[in-house]
């Protein structure tokens, strides 16, 4: 099995994703977007970065690149797809998931540690946790504020598609614990099939030698459920 970490021009967390997945014993390789997906692909990760410089809207250009059609088809065939940070923006822009990630309430880039409450433990990306668990992950984004219409938001909640919400250390979902003004403190959601997207970086909370959280390993282990 191989997880394809799709590298667009401007991706910058592709090497990190491969390193973190390899650490977990999950075979992964970087795939240049113009080369297309390998035939034996068993998982797809859309990594963080600034695809095409994010000069239009974040993720908008990459979402329209040819490899995304392949990603959509693979997803429909049951291949798990995880979008992280810029990859989450690409996921939204390409219609793999609902909503959009847009400019932080602060209008600044924010690189810091946040807490997340697991809302739905019944997906590949959250199966390692129990509902209500609190995990610590880093964020690093300028455009991570989740937005979606009121109506669609209610539907997302009803369909149990919220993966994580920003919370405090004790698991309380509060305005103070919301780093970017996301609607409903939503940090990550799932789409159809095995598609999940989140703004925080699970691959940065994986390697024990970095003296930080290793709570992100559970998210990446979602590729093992394929």
User: Does the footprint of another protein cover residue 201 (CB under 8 A)?
Assistant: yes
Q: How far is the CB of 201 from another protein (least distance, A)?
A: 8
The residues that bridge with 138 in the sheet, in sequence order, are 113
Q: Does the footprint of another protein cover residue 53 (CB under 8 A)?
A: yes
DSSP strand pairing (28-32 vs 2-7): parallel
| Interface stretch with another protein, choices 6-14, 64-72, 95-103, 115-123 (CB under 8 A) | 6-14
Q: Provide, rounded to whole angstroms, the least separation between the CB of residue 113 and another protein.
A: 9
Which tokens sit at 86? 């810029």
Query: CA angle, corner 10, sides to 1 and 90, nearest 5?
Result: 65
Compute how many residues bind another protein; rule: CB under 8 A: 33
The pair of structure tokens assigned to 163 is 């993966």
- Least separation, in Å, of the C-beta of 51 and another protein? 9
The alpha carbons of the chain give a radius of gyration, in whole angstroms, of: 16
Cβ-Cβ contacts under 8 Å for 157 (sequence gap 6 or more): 184
CA distance 57 to 60: 5
When asked if residue 66 is in the footprint of another protein (CB under 8 A), the reply is: no
Q: Which is nearer to another protein, 189 or 198 (CB)?
A: 198
Given the rule CB under 8 A, which of 4-12, 64-72, 116-124, 145-153 is the region that contacts another protein?
Answer: 4-12
CB under 8 Å to 79, separation ≥6 — which residues? 41, 42, 43, 44, 194, 226
Interaction residues for another protein, span 67-96 (CB under 8 A): none
Told to judge if 85 belongs to the known catalytic residues of this protein, a careful annotator would answer: yes
Rounded Cα–Cα distance for residues 172 and 213 (Å): 19
- Residue 110 contacts another protein per CB under 8 A: yes
- Pick from 39, 108, 122, 176: which binds another protein (CB under 8 A)? 108
Please give the positions annotated as active site: 85, 201, 203
């Amino acid at each position: 099995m191989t997880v394809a970490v799709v590298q667009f021009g401007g991706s910058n967390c592709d090497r990190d994703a491969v390193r973190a997945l390899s650490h977990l014993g999950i075979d992964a390789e970087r795939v240049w977007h113009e080369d297309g997906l390998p035939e034996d692909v068993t998982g797809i990760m859309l990594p963080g970065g600034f695809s095409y410089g994010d000069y239009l809207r974040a993720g908008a250009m990459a979402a329209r690149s040819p490899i995304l059609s392949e990603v959509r088809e693979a997803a429909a065939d049951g291949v798990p797809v995880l979008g992280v940070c810029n990859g989450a923006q690409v996921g939204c822009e390409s219609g793999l998931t609902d909503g959009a990630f847009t400019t932080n309430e602060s209008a600044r880039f924010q690189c810091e540690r946040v807490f997340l409450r697991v809302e739905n433990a019944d997906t590949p990306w959250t199966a390692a946790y129990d509902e209500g668990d609190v995990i610590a992950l880093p964020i690093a984004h300028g455009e991570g504020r989740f937005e979606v219409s009121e109506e669609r938001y209610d539907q997302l909640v009803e369909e149990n598609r919220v993966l994580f919400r920003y919370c405090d250390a004790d698991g309380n979902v509060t305005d103070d614990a919301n780093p970017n003004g996301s609607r409903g403190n939503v940090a990550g959601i799932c789409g159809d099939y095995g598609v999940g997207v989140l703004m925080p970086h699970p691959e940065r909370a994986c390697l024990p030698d970095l003296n930080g959280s290793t709570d992100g390993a559970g998210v990446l282990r979602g590729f093992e459920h394929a």
